[in-house]
Amino acid sequence: MIFSLPPLAAEPIFNIGSFPVANTLINSSLTVALFAAIGFVLRKRSREIPDKIQNFAESIIEVILGFMDQVTRDRKKTIKFLPVVGTLFFFILASNWLGIFPGIGSIGRWLVMHGRLELVPLFRPANTDLNMTLAMAVSTIILTHVFGMVAVGFWRYANKFVKLGDIVRSVRKGGMSILVAVIEFFVGIIEIFSEIAKMVSLSLRLFGNIFAGEVLLTVIAGLIAYFVPLPFMMLEILVGLIQAIVFSMLVLVSFTMATAEIHEAH
């Protein structure tokens, strides 16, 4: 049996003008539309005395708040970070799960790819596109620094990375203070590179795990189409949940560390 593995790059399905619409973009758009619809329904059904659906939604939020409290140790910070962390968690989870529904891979368009006619699936997990995971990673790291600057002040936060002020003060003191200040300056430069490394690790970790699962399911389904892929699909459901938790919790840890009070040695 001949089958083709999913390529690293997302496959374009059609164009809107000069803009190519890839199957991962369709998946992510459906995820956003799904959550918009759920949010609209919950808002319309919101009552002072909640019904079963509202109780279920509120219980999920309470569980998430409890997990976040274990990291932030501060309910005010938890509530502040919830819109970002919660959105990332549910978006990653839903986009991962949408891509492994039975029959999803068989719905597509016959297009000429790599010189031959292939069935290109309309839906592909959004997180198998490195552009998507990198965009989420870059956005969250930028938000991390925004939260940090708001919490402790621009200059105090910037001093974590560019310690020119410490060097100026050390010149007045002289002696060992200058050496310590120079070392701390280069440590700050290393911190800048560590922020870039965070973006790379966040994006590649999520992309690698979800793409590997997509390849595994394709290989198993290509070899044996019935029953055997079911345990692997269950495994991918679990992996999708774990990766959503890992990504959102790492973002939450970054937010918490960035907004922690900076204790300066006197």
Q: What pTM value is reported for the model?
A: 0.84
Find out whether 167 and 186 touch, Cβ atoms under 8 Å: no
124: Cα within 13 Å, side-chain hemisphere? 31
φ, ψ of residue 110 to 5 degrees: the values are -85, 115
Which residues make beta-bridge pairs with 11? none
Separation between Cα atoms, residue 40 and residue 261, nearest integer Å: 38
Find out whether 256 and 77 touch, Cβ atoms under 8 Å: yes
117 three-class SS: strand
The tens place of each residue's pLDDT in the chain, 266 residues long, gives 445 667 777 888 888 888 888 888 888 998 899 989 998 988 888 888 888 888 988 899 999 999 999 999 999 999 999 999 999 999 999 988 887 776 666 677 777 766 677 777 788 888 989 999 999 999 999 999 999 999 988 888 887 787 766 666 666 666 667 777 777 777 778 888 888 999 999 999 999 998 888 888 777 777 776 777 778 788 888 988 999 999 999 999 999 999 986 544 33
Find out whether 113 and 11 touch, Cβ atoms under 8 Å: yes
In the chain, domain spans: 12-258
CB neighbours of residue 263 within 10 Å: 6
